[in-house]
Amino acid sequence: MSRVGKQAIPIPNGVSVTIQGTRVKIKGPKGEIEREIHPAMQVVQADGELSVKRPSDRRDHRALHGLTGSLLASMVKGVVDGFEKKLEIVGVGYRAEATGKSLRLHLGYSHPITYEAPEGVKLGVDSPTVVTVAGVDKEKVGQAAAEIRALRPPEPYKGKGIRYQGEQVRRKAGKTAV
Tally of CA atoms within 13 A in the half-sphere of 43 that contains its CB: 27
Band of the pLDDT at 5, cuts 50, 70, 90? confident
Tell me: the pLDDT tens digits for 84-130?
999 999 999 999 999 889 999 999 999 999 999 999 999 999 999 99
Name the β-bridge partners of 116.
102
> What is the sign, positive or negative, of the torsion defined by CA atoms of 127, 99, 28, 4?
negative
137-176 burial, b at 16+ Cβ within 10 Å, e below that, comes to bbebbeebbeebbeebebeeeeebbbbeeeeeeeeeeeee
**pLDDT value of residue 123:** 95
* Type of residue at 12: P
Q: What is the DSSP letter of 143?
A: H
pLDDT at 124: 94
Q: Over pLDDT 90: what percentage of the chain?
A: 88
Residue type, 72: L
H or E element at residue 149: helix 138-150
What is the pTM for the complete model shown? 0.89
> Does the pLDDT of residue 1 top 80, yes or no?
no
Q: pLDDT tens digits for 27-49? A: 999 999 999 999 999 999 988 89
Classify 6 as helix, strand or coil: coil
Integer Rg of the chain from CA: 21
